[in-house]
Amino acid sequence: METKIRPRRDVFDSFAPNTSNSPQPSFFATQTNMPSTPPTPTPTPTMLSWKTSRRTISIEDRPRVMGILNVTPDSFSDGGRFFGNTELPSGSAVSKCGDLSEELRVEAAVAAGLQMQADGADIIDIGGESTRPYSTPVDEATETARVAPVIAALAVRLDIPISIDTSKASVASAAIDAGAEIINDVTGLEGDPKMAELAKQSGVGVCVMHMRGTPQTMQDDPTYENVVEEIRDYLIARRDACLSFGIELEKICLDPGVGFGKTHDHNFKLIRGIHRFTDLGCACLIGHSRKGFIRKRLAAFTETSGREFNPMAGTLGVSLAAAAAGAHLIRVHDVAETVQAIEMFNACKPTHD
């Protein structure tokens, strides 16, 4: 069945419930670990798309935009937005409050998610635990309580898929039950031995990221001989491990993990080397939004001008560099500005007519 959600952008090829791949309630009891030495299949790139548990997302004509919706008190850029001293989005029943009640927190997050869709987001990535450098981990119950109500409330109102940003299988399972179609795991499906089986049984799309160490240790002097090639090798190994475990190639997205266990120089090398991650037979995501390497690069401009640093301009610059290099998905905080910048970038590209 063909469904065009937004005719202007024609984002999705199809939408159909995945009734044959619903999560199995008993999968935790039968979990086995991902093979440590999987065979190495040789995937052949087919049509440019990424499958979730319910639909196929075309990534052929332009990068798709994944909007970041953090429901945390301590994420590096937007943490606390839905916890305290928060202005609710325009049109909310309550315009301003101190510490948000659970109902108001969910209302504010849902309004933000709906605005992202209106701004042109193709996916909304919802997270309940900060993974910024030296962040404090949270337990499964706390993380689930943050994300599940928001996902449940948004899933019935959105026309675009929801991704759960977590490395815990129990949190991902609750999110999938609430309506999430993608698992975005900063540990590359290695942090929780139950995650790969959940992904396989539920049929969700997976985003497999590279991270050196953990959020608590990743910035302790990260070193590489050749950062681009080492991370390429890692992503190939994780792709092959996912395939060996039974996750379909079309459901795998690879992320080199800009800012996760990399120096500022490493991050620029990864951006310049994006083409090394886009030829691996599956989707490639770049997540650079508002990160420290942008601030450091532009510090001289803000010092000279006397203006307060605004991360949006630098983030947009990297987004367009990623688009030019062939990145399939771009994960950002500023959805409207990114969508419009990519629209103009594509409109100005030379044609072969």
Q: Where is mean pLDDT largest: 67-76, 93-102, 261-270?
A: 261-270
d(Cα 140, Cα 134) in Å, to the nearest integer? 19
Using the predicted structure, report yes or no on whether residue 164 has a pLDDT greater than 50: yes
> Of the candidates 148, 156, 143, 150, which has an alpha carbon nearest to the alpha carbon of residue 107?
150
> Of the candidates 87, 115, 14, which has an alpha carbon nearest to the alpha carbon of residue 337?
115
Catalytic residue among 291, 295, 296, 297: 291
Nearest-5° angle of CA 346, CA 278, CA 225?
125
Helix ranges (H only) for 160-263 are 169-178, 195-202, 227-245
Using the predicted structure, report yes or no on whether residue 173 has a pLDDT greater than 60: yes
pTM over 0.75: yes
Q: Which residue has the higher pLDDT, 123 or 89?
A: 123
pLDDT at res. 353: 64
Query: What percent of the chain clears pLDDT 70, i.e. is strictly above it?
Result: 78
Task: Please confirm, yes or no, whether 262 is among the known catalytic residues.
Answer: no
Using the predicted structure, report yes or no on whether residue 250 has a pLDDT greater than 90: yes
pLDDT at res. 93: 34
CATH fold of 66-348 reads TIM Barrel (3.20.20)
The answer to whether the Cα torsion of 215, 333, 143, 33 is positive or negative is: negative
Residue type, 143: E
Catalytic residue among 212, 262, 331, 349: 331
- Per-residue pLDDT of 181-204, as tens digits, reads 999 999 999 999 999 999 999 999
Using the predicted structure, report yes or no on whether residue 109 has a pLDDT greater than 50: yes
- Stretch 242-248: mean pLDDT, rounded? 97
Task: Please confirm, yes or no, whether 291 is among the known catalytic residues.
Answer: yes
- Per-residue pLDDT of 20-62, as tens digits, reads 444 444 333 334 444 444 444 445 555 589 999 999 999 988 9
- Stretch 234-248: mean pLDDT, rounded? 98
Using the predicted structure, report yes or no on whether residue 97 has a pLDDT greater than 50: no
